[in-house]
């Protein structure tokens, strides 16, 4: 973790950006996971779960390093409480990705052909939400240099507004996907429906936590 020690020589915001990037590496695993489920490549899914777990562990190491150093070393332009809350929200994103990987690994659940495109689109929308958060989060270092004010803060606020809209679209897609599932109730066994709903719920939680993290960034700027 030499990178962490180097970055902490200057400020905690560099490590926070690195943590955001690591969390997004976890989110990027949603694509191969969903592809493996759609293609019924069930032997690949445990390997993908292992990779997600490694990435989540790496993000945890970054999280602990930030927490260990944040409380006592720096005069910060924003409250430590807000930074720690932002860190928790980011951490929950990675946790939810790992939970999704576990869900798809514990049962060989076939995706109905009528639902394949909808599930794929939903995953892409989740990635759109988290990608917008990452774009905002990587500005943390620049925001700190200007005490979370000025033109940089306006750019991030605009990104956060866009993040909210993307999360709203994700919510609408989740409801539409659930309706499509129950329209096929006569063709699907109850356990499959339960697993579909578990997948939708966990993906939705990823988007929700991304929006929550964005709200905390907004709070830091407007205080």
- Give the separation between CA 25 and CA 21, rounded to whole angstroms: 6
- Residue 181: which CATH number? 1.20.58.220
How far apart (Å, rounded) are the C-alpha atoms in residues 18 and 66?
10
Residue 2 resides in a domain = no
Does 168 reside within a domain? yes
Tell me the pLDDT band of 142, cut-offs 50, 70 and 90.
confident
Residue 79 structure tokens: 């409250």
Q: 1 in a domain, yes or no?
A: no
- Identify the domain containing residue 137 by its residue range: 11-222
Q: Tell whether 6 is covered by a domain.
A: no
In-domain check, residue 152: yes
Residue 58 maps to a domain: yes
Q: In whole angstroms, what is the distance from residue 216 CA to residue 223 CA?
A: 11
pLDDT of residue 157: 86
Our count of domains for the chain comes to: 1
Angle, vertex CA 6, rays to CA 4 and CA 10, nearest 5: 105
With respect to residue 4, please indicate whether it lies within any of the assigned structural domains: no
Q: How far does the chain reach from its first CA to its final CA, in angstroms? A: 33
Average pLDDT over residues 126-137: 92
User: 11-53: per-residue pLDDT in tens?
Assistant: 778 888 899 999 999 999 999 999 999 999 999 999 999 999 9
Model pLDDT for residues 64-122, shown as the tens digit of each residue: 988 887 655 456 677 788 888 999 999 999 999 999 999 999 999 999 999 999 999 99
DSSP track, 129-149: HHHHHHHHHTTHHHHHHTTT-
The pLDDT value recorded for residue 10 is: 57
* pLDDT value of residue 143: 73
- pLDDT (mean) for 120-140: 91
With beta carbons less than 8 A apart as the criterion, state whether 186 and 177 touch.
no
Tell me which of 66-75, 126-135, 170-179 is least confident. 66-75
pTM: 0.89
Residues 6 or more apart in contact with residue 35 via CB below 8 angstroms: 41
Q: Does residue 201 sit within a domain? A: yes
């Amino acid at each position: 973790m030499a990178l962490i020690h180097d970055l902490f020589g200057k400020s905690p915001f560099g490590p926070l950006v690195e943590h955001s990037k690591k969390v997004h590496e976890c989110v990027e695993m949603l694509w191969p996971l969903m592809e493996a489920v759609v293609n019924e490549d069930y032997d690949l899914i445990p390997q993908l779960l292992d990779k997600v777990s490694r990435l989540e562990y790496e993000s945890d190491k970054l999280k602990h390093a930030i927490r260990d150093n944040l409380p006592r070393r720096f005069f910060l332009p924003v409250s430590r409480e807000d930074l720690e809350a932002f860190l928790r929200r980011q951490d929950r994103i990675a946790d939810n990705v790992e939970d999704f990987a576990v869900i798809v690994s514990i049962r060989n659940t076939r995706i109905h052909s009528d639902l394949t495109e909808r599930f794929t689109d939903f995953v892409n929308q989740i990635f759109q939400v988290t990608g917008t958060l990452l774009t905002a989060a990587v500005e943390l270092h620049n925001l700190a240099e200007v005490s979370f004010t000025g033109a940089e803060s306006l750019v991030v606020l605009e990104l956060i507004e866009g993040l909210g809209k993307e999360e709203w679209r994700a919510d609408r897609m989740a409801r539409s996907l659930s309706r499509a599932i129950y329209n096929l109730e006569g063709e699907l066994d109850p356990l499959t429906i339960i697993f579909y709903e578990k997948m939708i719920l966990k993906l939705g939680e990823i988007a929700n936590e991304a929006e929550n993290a964005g709200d905390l960034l907004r709070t830091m700027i407007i205080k």
